[in-house]
Structures are given as C-alpha cells and as structure tokens.
Amino acid sequence: MERHEDALREYEEKARELLDLTMDLCESRVAKAPSRATAPREALTAAAMSVQESVNTFLAVNRLKDKYGTPETE
C-alpha cells in the first residue's frame, strides 16, 4: 500500500508540474498576443483552464477512491 501512496504522490507532483508548465505557456502566449481578445487567444486560455480542471478532478476522484477503497482492497 505504501508503494501505491508513493506512486500517487509522484503522480500528483508531475501533474502539478504539468499544470504549472501549461499555465506558464498560456500566459506567455497571451502576453505576446495583441491586447484585444482573439479567438485563438480565448481558445488557448479555455484549453489551459480545461487541462487544469481535468487534472484536478482526476486527482480528487483518485483521492476518493483511496479513501473509500482501492481496487486492491475491494
């Protein structure tokens, strides 16, 4: 079980790195774009937010799964 927790902790760290890189890239691209809103700029921002919400949801569901039983204990 400890190995599973270590793997989950490592996954969460990598997920946070992915989110940081995604947001940094988005902010960099948006900062270089014209000041007016454009479809690609809005789409990039929406996509970055979608990645963030998807990863956060996956992590939250995974924690619930651990709290209420993993496949190994079911």
Number of neighbouring beta carbons within 10 Å of residue 26: 19
| Full-model pTM | 0.73
User: For the segment 9-45, what is each residue's pLDDT rounded down to a tens digit?
Assistant: 999 999 999 999 999 999 998 888 777 788 888 999 9
Q: Is residue 63 within 8 Å of 4, Cβ to Cβ?
A: no
Say if residue 73's pLDDT is above 60: no
| Rounded (10°) CA dihedral 63, 69, 73, 74 | -130
Give residue 74's pLDDT band: very low, low, confident or very high (50, 70, 90). very low
- Residue spans per domain, the chain: 2-68
